[in-house]
C-alpha cells in the first residue's frame, strides 16, 4: 500500500529508536537447502497493508502453493512505520529478516545504499522490460548494476467520494460532473465549504489533513528532495503552499481528523464521517475490505489537477536468508504481469507493468464496489502526465512527519509551531540539523 505509503506513525517513533515486532525470520527449522529446489520450504513475507492479499483472501498465495506443493507461504503484517524500522534493524543485525520483505516506494531510496544486504535481481534472470526505467531506477544503485527489489504496484491518484453524502449536500453525484467541481486543489477546498453548508450532521469533507497534503504534492516532480539528492523541504515553496492550503481547510472545519490506518479511521469509513478521500488505486482495496457495508455508496472522480501518483512497493529478498533461491522465484512470480492483473481486479493495486494497462482485464475493468467506476481507465489517465517524482532516503519519514504535524493542527495546535517543529524533526532525521 500497496502501499502507503501507507500509514502514519508518530514522528518520534520514526525518528527515534527502533522497535522490533514479532515475525518469522527467514529459514528456520527443516527449511529447503539452496541445492534442492524440491525440498519442503516455508517462505515468510513481511508486508504492510494489503500488498498481496486481503485479511480474508490469500488466493494469490494459495495459487503459488498449488503450483509448488513443496512451498508454504506465511505472511506477516505490521504497521507501515514499524515494518520499515524493523527491516532496517534486522539488516543491520544481519539476521531476523523474512525471506521476502516489502519496501514502499518512498522508503526504497533509504535501502539502495545497502545493496550488499539484498539479492541483486540483475543476477537472477529477471526480464525487467516490463517496467519503465524510472520505476526500476528507484530500487537501483546509481550505476544501475544492482536492483534490490522488483516493482509491485503503482499508485495513481483519483478522488473517492460518497455519492449519498454529496446528494444530501446538494452536490452533483455523477463522476464526470464531480470531477468538474475541482480542476485545482484550491477548487477542491472551495467545494468543501459548499459541502459543509448543507452536509449531514457530523460529516466532514475529508478524512485527514495528511492525506490531503500528500495528494496536493502528488503531481510535483520535486517535493522533499531535488534531483541532486539535496534536502529542499524548507526551501521548496510547493511544500509550504501544500501545507498552507491544508491548514486552511482544517481551520475551516473540513477535516474529520482521523489518523490513517487507525480503528477510528476505519470507523470513519463505515459510518460516513467524511465525504471524500485522496484515493490512490490501492485505497480501493482498503475501503472494500474495511467498510463492506458501504458498497455502492462510493464512486471515483478525477484528482484535482488531473494527474498524480502516490504509492507503490518493491519486493526484496534479503541476502541473509537461508531460502534465497526459493524466495527469488516467489518474488518473480508475485511481480509477473499475470499476478499484477489479478491483484488489481481483486484488491485494487494498480499494476506497475505498463504493458498491462492496455490488456482488456485492466483497461475495461470496472470497480463494482465503487458504482462500477471505470478504474481501468481512471488510474492510467492520472499516471499519464504525472511527473516521475524525486525521492530521497528519508522521503517516507518526511511525509509521515508532516502528517503527524497536521494531525496536531487538527487537534488545535498552532500551525506555525507545528511547521517549525516538523522542519526541525526532518532535519534531525536527515542528519542535517
Question: What's the pLDDT tens digit per position in 52-62?
Answer: 765 556 888 99
Same domain, 90 and 194: no
Nearest to 315 by CA among 19, 36, 55, 51: 51
Which of 322, 348, 374 marks a domain boundary? 348
Q: Tell me if 376 is assigned to some domain.
A: no
Q: Tell me if 337 is assigned to some domain.
A: yes
**Residues spanned by the domain of 259:** 157-307+388-429
Q: What is the pLDDT of residue 286?
A: 87
Same domain, 85 and 193: no
Q: What is the pLDDT of residue 53?
A: 62
Same domain, 284 and 331: no
Q: How confident is the model at residue 10 (pLDDT cuts 50, 70, 90)?
A: very low
Question: What's the pLDDT tens digit per position in 270-312?
Answer: 999 999 999 998 899 889 888 999 999 999 999 999 998 887 8
Using CA atoms, how far apart are residues 139 and 56, in angstroms rounded to an integer?
Answer: 31
Helix, strand, coil percentages for the chain (3-state, nearest 5): 45, 15, 40
Q: Tell me if 280 is assigned to some domain.
A: yes
DSSP for 90-108, written as a single string: HHHHT----SEEEEETTTG
Residue 91: pLDDT over 50: yes
Same domain, 297 and 329: no
Query: pTM, whole model, 2 decimals?
Result: 0.81
Would you tell me how many other CB atoms lie within 10 Å of the CB of residue 310? 32
Beta-sheet pairing, 150-154 with 350-351 = antiparallel
Q: What is the pLDDT of residue 33?
A: 44
Q: What is the pLDDT of residue 30?
A: 39
Residue 2: pLDDT over 50: no
> How many domains does the chain fold into?
2
Which of 292, 321, 348 marks a domain boundary? 348
Same domain, 29 and 119: yes
**Going along 52-149, which residue ranges are E strands?**
71-77, 100-104
Using CA atoms, how far apart are residues 428 and 433, in angstroms rounded to an integer?
Answer: 5
Q: Tell me if 340 is assigned to some domain.
A: yes
Residue recorded with cell 541445492: 35
Same domain, 28 and 106: yes
Q: What is the pLDDT of residue 27?
A: 41
Tell me phi and psi for residue 40, to 5 degrees: -60, 140
Q: Tell me if 6 is assigned to some domain.
A: no
Residue 26: pLDDT over 80: no
Same domain, 162 and 147: no
Determine which of 77-91, 256-270, 299-313, 382-396 has the lowest per-residue pLDDT on average: 382-396
Residue 5: pLDDT over 90: no
Residue 326: pLDDT over 80: yes
Q: Tell me if 130 is assigned to some domain.
A: yes
Same domain, 99 and 231: no
Q: Tell me if 382 is assigned to some domain.
A: no
Same domain, 263 and 303: yes
Same domain, 128 and 257: no
Same domain, 21 and 89: yes
Same domain, 273 and 336: no
The H or E element containing residue 275 is: strand 274-280
Q: What is the CATH number of the domain that holds 269?
A: 3.40.190.10
Q: Tell me if 264 is assigned to some domain.
A: yes
Please, which residues bridge with residue 278 across strands?
A: 159
Q: What is the pLDDT of residue 56?
A: 59
Amino acid at each position: 500500500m500497496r502501499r502507503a505509503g501507507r500509514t502514519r506513525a508518530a514522528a518520534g517513533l520514526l525518528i527515534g529508536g527502533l522497535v522490533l515486532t514479532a515475525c518469522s525470520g527467514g529459514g528456520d527449522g527443516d527449511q529447503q537447502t539452496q541445492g534442492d529446489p524440491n525440498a519442503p520450504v516455508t517462505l515468510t513475507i513481511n508486508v504492510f497493508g494489503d500488498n498481496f492479499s486481503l485479511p480474508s483472501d490469500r488466493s494469490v498465495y494459495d495459487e503459488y502453493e498449488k503450483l509448488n506443493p513443496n512451498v508454504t507461504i506465511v505472511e506477516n503484517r505490521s504497521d507501515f512505520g514499524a515494518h520499515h524500522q524493523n527491516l532496517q534493524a534486522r539488516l543491520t543485525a544481519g539476521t531476523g529478516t523474512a525471506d521476502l520483505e516489502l519496501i514502499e516506494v518512498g522508503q526504497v531510496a533509504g535501502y539502495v545504499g545497502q545493496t550488499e544486504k539484498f539479492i541483486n535481481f540483475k543476477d537472477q534472470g529477471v526480464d525487467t522490460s516490463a517496467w519503465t526505467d524510472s520505476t526500476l531506477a528507484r530500487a537501483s544503485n546509481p550505476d544501475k548494476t544492482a536492483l534490490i527489489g522488483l516493482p509491485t504496484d503503482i499508485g495513481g491518484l483519483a478522488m473517492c467520494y460518497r455519492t449519498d453524502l454529496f446528494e444530501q449536500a446538494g452536490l452533483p453525484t455523477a463522476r464526470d460532473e464531480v470531477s468538474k467541481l475541482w480542476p485545482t486543489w484550491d477548487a477542491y477546498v472551495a467545494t468543501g465549504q459548499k459541502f459543509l453548508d448543507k452536509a449531514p450532521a457530523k460529516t466532514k469533507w475529508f478524512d485527514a489533513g495528511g492525506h490531503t497534503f500528500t495528494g496536493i504534492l502528488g503531481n510535483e516532480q520535486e517535493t522533499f528532495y531535488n534531483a541532486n539528492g539535496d534536502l529542499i523541504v524548507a526551501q521548496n515553496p510547493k511544500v509550504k503552499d501544500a501545507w498552507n492550503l491544508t491548514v486552511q481547510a482544517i481551520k475551516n472545519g473540513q477535516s474529520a481528523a482521523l489518523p490513517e490506518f487507525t480503528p477510528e479511521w476505519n470507523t470513519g469509513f463505515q459510518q460516513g464521517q467524511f465525504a471524500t478521500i485522496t484515493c490512490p488505486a490501492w485505497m480501493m482495496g482498503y475501503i472494500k475490505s474495511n467498510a463492506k457495508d458501504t458498497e455502492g455508496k462510493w464512486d471515483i472522480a478525477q484528482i484535482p489537477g488531473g494527474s498524480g501518483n502516490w504509492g507503490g512497493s518493491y519486493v526484496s529478498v534479503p541476502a541473509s536468508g537461508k531460502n534465497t533461491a526459493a524466495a527469488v522465484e516467489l518474488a518473480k512470480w508475485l511481480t509477473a504481469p499475470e499476478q499484477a492483473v489479478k491483484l488489481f481486479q481483486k484488491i485494487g493495486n494498480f499494476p506497475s507493468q505498463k504493458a498491462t494497462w492496455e490488456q482488456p482485464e485492466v483497461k475495461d475493468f470496472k470497480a463494482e464496489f465503487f458504482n462500477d467506476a471505470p478504474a481501468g481507465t481512471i488510474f492510467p489517465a492520472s499516471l499519464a502526465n504525472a511527473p516521475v517524482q524525486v525521492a530521497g532516503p528519508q522521503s517516507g519519514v518526511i511525509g509521515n512527519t508532516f502528517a503527524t504535524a497536521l494531525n496536531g493542527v487538527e487537534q488545535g495546535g498552532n500551525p506555525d509551531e507545528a511547521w517549525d517543529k516538523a522542519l526541525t524533526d526532518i532535519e534531525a532525521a536527515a542528519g542535517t540539523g
